[in-house]
Structure formats: C-alpha cells, structure tokens
Chain A
Amino acid sequence: MRPVAVLASRVRYEEKRIFAALERRGVAFTHVDTRRFGAELEGAPDGPPEYAAALNREISHSRALYASLLLEARGVATVNTSEAIAVCGDKVRTSLLLRRAGIPTPRTAVALSPEEGADAAERLGFPVVIKPLTGSWGRLVAAVHDRAQAETVLEHRAALPSPQQHIIYLQEFVDKPGRDVRVIVAGDEVVGATYRYSDGWRTNAARGARSAPCPPTPELTEPARAAARAVGGGVLGVDLVEGPAGPLVLEVNHAVEFQGFQQAHGDAVDVADAIVSHVLDAASGARSREAV
C-alpha cells in the first residue's frame, strides 16, 4: 500500500499517538509538515495518487483547508475533506447545516457588522455569547449580559483588522451544569464521550477544563453522530451542552484534540487507533474507486 500522509506543522501528544498507532499496525506513513507543502495545479501526476490517504491534523485552519483541497485535486482521499474543514471552520455555515439537519442547537443570530451586533443581541435576549466565526479554544469568546457590555465587546471587534471579525455571530447563553460534553466521532462510529468541567463558563480543554468519562448515551451520541454527518463526516469532535430541554450541539471541530479525552478514558478507549481505522477505511474506499 502507498503511504498514508499525516499533515501536521505541530507534532503534539495527539500526533505522536497517531504515529505510534500507525506503526503498531505496520502502516507506512509520511509526516508532511504543511508549512513546507505545496503543489502545482496543472494536472495531477500520471498513475495513482502518491498517498493512499491523507490524515489532515494541521492546526492552522487556512493551511488545513488548502492542503486538503490540493491533495483532493491530486486524487488523494482526505480525512477530513476540504468540505468538512470549510464548514467546521465557519460557525455560520456549521449552524446553518445543523439547523437544516434538524439538530438542536442554541438560538443563534448573525449580524453583518459590529454596529448591528448590539441590536441583534437585544433581539436574541441577554445574556448572549459573542463568538468569532473561525477559531476555537474559547479564544475571543465573550459572554455579555446587557447592551452596554455588548457595545464594549463589539467596539473591540470593530477595531480588529480582519473583515471576518466584523461578522458577528451570537448565541443564547445556555445555563449549563458547570460542564459540557465532547463526543468524538470517526465516520459513523462514536469513539467515546467526555464531560469537560470548568470553574469558569468556558469549558474548553485548552483553557484548563478537566475531562472525565461520560456515558455515551443515545441522548448525546445521536445528535453528535447526526452533527458529524451534517458537516460532511470524518474524524470530528462534537461539543454539546446540556440545556434545560436536552442536549444542544454547540460546534463541530475538524482537527480534534484528544489529550484530555484519552487521559480520562485510559486504556478503555484508543482515539488514535480509531482515527487510524477510519483513515484506512478511506484509503480502502479510494483504492476501490481507482480500480473501477
């Protein structure tokens, strides 16, 4: 079999686990540092693609998106696909697809300028959460409790140079029980779930939230699986919050980090191995299509 490409400019705990899982299974792989990757657009090389599949672990959303696009143009099966990356990297696109699929989410509004943002927040009803369209780890996410706070946050957003920061994405603030839920999905398989506990209102692992095993009940796994499917499928981290009326999907992450998740589950779950299984399935599917 041709090698599997693992795209990553930063090799963290997760990538080391994935490399080890590939080695345990005897799968040939090439680590491609995406900072040093490029491809000509004029015609794919003759013969089969250079990689059996590409696992995209790039931490930069822009580089991840274009790396998958370039490899797909050369006939390489990608995990995740450029389509899934494009959707997950844009909270508006994600929310629209989740809504279309009938998946419960917090009430959401979008304002196309910071000036319109305060009125949109007022219509949604305080408290609201203002989030950037792209980005994760809870960065630049603000909970605002009244119009004055909203105007302050929006004034700062208006001062940021990127036009994308001037598109304002707002969600109702869901009063959660000090935790949220991360479900990791690979294809149609739910790898597992964790609670993420935090003393603050943001429960991102990157902000120091503590992970603990969460029973993967259908109430959580079914919306998570449906959300993964709605954004295009692949290896995805689905974040849910337990609202008063049931779980709501907050977002879907295309480059899922799983250090806290893995450490919470110990030997009961092997996330890296599940990811490798899914990549090998993608490679096998691509080989079948080439043979036709």
Chain B
Amino acid sequence: MTLTCPECEGPVLLTEPVRLSEVAQCADCSSELEVVGLDPVTLDLAPEIEEDWGE
C-alpha cells in the first residue's frame, strides 16, 4: 500500500497488513512516520525519540 508523506508528500510504502502505531520512514525526506488510523490508513509524524527509549 502506498500513502503520501504528511511532511513532503512523497510516496510511503507500507507492507500489509498495516497495523495501528506502525512506524515507517519516508524514502524522500527520511521523516519517521506513524500509522495513526486504519480506516482509512492515515500517517502522521512519529514522536521524537525520548531519553529512556531503547531495548
């Protein structure tokens, strides 16, 4: 499934099945994106990395 990057309007490819909270990267502008809705599938900018994130 191909969507439009909310930052640069470039194409963003998502592998199905698409999941809520899934993260993807725009190949054009490298923005990190998050799936925030499934019906229809909607992308928004993903949150910035926080200090306590990790493995």
Contacts and interface: CB of A to CB of B under 8 A. Distances in A.
Interface of A: 8-12, 15-16, 19, 31, 33, 59-62, 89, 134-137, 139, 162, 237, 253-257
B23 A12 contact: yes
Given A10-B21, A134-B51, 20 more contacts: A8-B21, A11-B23, A12-B22, A12-B23, A16-B15, A31-B21, A59-B53, A59-B54, A60-B53, A62-B52, A135-B51, A135-B54, A136-B54, A137-B54, A162-B51, A237-B55, A253-B54, A255-B54, A256-B55, A257-B55
Interface in B1-48: 15, 19-23, 34-35, 46
Scoring B20, B51, B55 by chain A CB atoms within 10 A of each residue's CB, the highest score goes to B55
Given A10-B46, A60-B50, A255 B20 contact: no
Contacts of B51: 134-135, 162
A237 B55 CA distance: 8
Interface bracket on B: 10 to 19
A59 B51 CA distance: 11
Interface of B: 15, 19-23, 34-35, 46, 50-55
Contacts of A137: 54-55
B46 A255 contact: no
Contacts of A15: 19
Contacts of B22: 11-12, 16
A8 B22 CA distance: 10
B15 to A, nearest CB: 8
